[in-house]
Amino acid sequence: MNRQPDMRQIMAQAQKMQQQLAAAQEDLARRTFEGSAGGGMVTATVTGAQELVSISIAPEVVDPDDVEMLEDLVVAAVRQAFEAASSAASDQLGGLTGGLDLGGLLG
């Protein structure tokens, strides 16, 4: 005998998953993540909502004759912070979706 799935139950499960995902996204948006470069000489802080909120540069790394090095350190620190935020989002949201590819439905 071929039983059809209960659409109400499927819709209720989908709604519950959507609420859990929204709560997880709100939690991530409130969290901050740090990245650093140059042995901590440059530090960047981002939110889980992928927003850069601060950059800290140690005075001793500021060399007017080597601005390019400082620029590279800033880029590296920012990238590291965003990678930390992205990894946390994947871990937290991936656990809720069971690895489903929702094609951009999460944001």
**Which three-class secondary structure state does DSSP give residue 95?**
helix
Give the pLDDT band (50/70/90) at residue 2. Answer: low
List Cβ neighbours of 38 (8 Å cut-off, separation of 6 or more): 58, 61, 73, 76, 77
List Cβ neighbours of 83 (8 Å cut-off, separation of 6 or more): 35
Helices 67-97 and 7-30 cross at an angle (nearest 10°) of: 150
Residue 88: both structure tokens together? 């946390």
Beta bridge pairs of residue 42: 37, 57
Domains annotated for the chain, with CATH where assigned, are: 7-97 (3.30.1310.10)
Dmax (CA) for the chain in angstroms is 79
**If you count them, how many residues does the chain have?**
107
User: How confident is the model at residue 24, as a pLDDT?
Assistant: 83
pLDDT per residue as tens digits for the range 48-91: 988 999 999 999 999 999 999 999 999 999 999 999 999 988 88
User: How confident is the model at residue 49, as a pLDDT?
Assistant: 87
Give the pLDDT band (50/70/90) at residue 107. Answer: very low
Element at 88 (helix H, strand E): helix 67-97
